Amino acid sequence: MLDISNNPVSYGDELKGLETQAKTKFPVIHLSMRKLLLVLLAIFLVFMFLPWTQNVQGTGYLTTQRPEQRPQTIHATISGRIEHWYITEGQPVRRGDTIVYLSEVKSDYFDPQLVARTGGQVSAKEGAISSYGSKVGALEAQILAMQREQENKLQQVQNKIRQAELKIESEQAALEQARLDIQIARRQVDGVRNLYDKGLKSLTEWEDKKSKMQESEAKLVSAENKLASARNDLAIYQTELSLTRNEYANKIAKAQSDKFSTLSEKYDAEASVNKLRIEQENYSRRSGFYYILAPQDGYIVKSIKPGVGEIIKEGDPIVSILPANYALAVEMYIRPMDLPLIGVGRSVRFAFDGWPSFFFSGWPGVSTGMFSGRVFAIDRNISPNGKFRVLVAPDPEAEPWPAALQVGGGAKGIAMLDNVPLWYEFWRMLNGFPPNLYQPKAGENAADGKDPKAKPGQ
């Protein structure tokens, strides 16, 4: 036991045949299970180092790339009563095809000759406008005639004033002559009287000179009277000039007032004509709204007001129509924490509802039934569901989307990110870390549509 002897001691023969030894011996199956566990552990360790493609997933539905290509509802432009349907549900229509005919329900538009009668009112008002224009022309001619007459009349009065001024000058000269004559006559009378007193002149001569002096005095008084009369005539003519100006100013002002009143009536008539023309155009357009037409090529999806004789209000929906030509896109929603990882041009893989697909999120290369797309728009505002809306169009460089897809179908999108080992992905998920953002290398820009130096989300 202590290994101090060279003689071996064997206990095997003594233990042979004992029942306890048989029960404590390891079975063969135990050894096989241990080997299997070791093999599985080795496989698991190898599996942990396999590459895994990180991704951001979101759900959505099929829509169109442009707003006018999406299903739309045709509304009634006016109130009316449905008289006749020209289509059935599911029927293809062309742009301008008649969908339904409406009849009028408002008493203001019952007259079938409403447009023609309104046109007659417009013609009558236009005739009134023409008459007002003629009246304005006549008043302008009248004003010109009065202005010419005023000029002639004022010229006549001014000529009289000139004549009176000349007459005053003449009378002033005659007065000065009369004053000079009387002075001479007085000197002659005084001289003859002195000579008469001396006996050198006779009494007859003295009386003759005295008589001439009296005549000169009479001429002086007459000249003064004539001068005063001429000045009075000048004042009368000046007053006449002022009165003439005032008279014609009043006449011209009255004619101009009539002219402006006529112009005001003309402008009112023109405003009425414009209003009537607007009403006529409105009536004409309203009559065109009795027929509801297809705005574009498409398919009638559903008639919302199916009855004949049913009264609808302005703005009520009539039918829904799906455009015939549209470019599909997927409207998917992602979480706010994943938004920085999604940018315009990023590749997204889709599994469409009703389309067989087998998807392996970490190994997109072995997935089947998946279709590629590229992000072309991201909402700047969060949606009511608490996520951000992302629009994805088909990838022109990948396999085209199935032709059987219809607007409104569901889709599950997976945006591909970085390739990491599987053990790292498990570690990241356990710690709640975000995925790694894949930045393409130089030369991969065209494939991913992103700048290699761009920040996440750009």
The tens digit of pLDDT for each residue in 178-207 reads 888 777 777 777 777 777 677 666 667 767
Could you list the beta-strand ranges (E) of 263-344. Answer: 291-293, 298-303, 311-312, 317-323, 328-334
> DSSP 3-state helix, strand, coil percentages of the chain (rounded to 5)?
50, 20, 30
| 171 burial level (CB within 10 Å; 0-12, 13-18, 19+) | buried
Q: Which two tokens stand for residue 247?
A: 């008279």
Instruction: Report how far residue 93's alpha carbon sits from residue 87's, in angstroms, rounded to the nearest whole number.
Output: 8
- Encode pLDDT of 400-438 as tens digits: 888 888 888 888 888 776 677 777 777 777 776 666 644
Question: Distance (Å, rounded) from C-alpha 296 to C-alpha 280?
Answer: 28
Q: What span, in angstroms and rounded, lies between the C-alpha atoms of 391 and 348? A: 11
pLDDT in tens, the chain (458 residues): 455 556 555 555 555 555 655 555 555 555 577 777 888 888 878 777 777 676 778 888 899 988 888 888 998 988 899 999 998 888 999 998 999 999 888 888 888 888 888 888 888 888 888 888 898 899 999 999 998 998 998 898 888 888 888 888 888 888 888 888 777 777 777 777 777 677 666 667 767 777 777 777 777 788 888 888 888 888 888 888 888 889 889 989 999 999 899 889 989 988 988 998 888 888 888 888 889 999 889 999 888 887 788 888 888 899 999 888 888 999 999 888 778 778 888 888 888 887 765 554 544 554 556 788 999 999 888 888 889 999 999 988 888 888 888 888 888 888 776 677 777 777 777 776 666 644 444 444 433 444 433 433 33
Nearest CA to 298 among 68, 129, 34? Answer: 68
- Residue 336, token pair as written in the block: 């706010």
Domains and CATH numbers, the chain: 51-69+326-448 (2.40.30.170), 72-104+290-323 (2.40.50.100), 114-288 (1.10.287.2610)
pLDDT tens digits for range 306-361: 778 888 888 889 999 988 888 899 999 988 877 877 888 888 888 888 776 555 45
d(CA 142, CA 251) in angstroms, rounded, equals 10
A 10 A CB-CB count for 227 gives: 19
User: Are the beta carbons of 340 and 457 closer than 8 angstroms?
Assistant: yes
CB 70 within 8 A of CB 441: no
- Cα torsion through 119, 125, 131, 133, rounded to 10: -100
pTM of the model: 0.54
Q: How many CA atoms lie within 13 A of 11 on its CB side?
A: 4
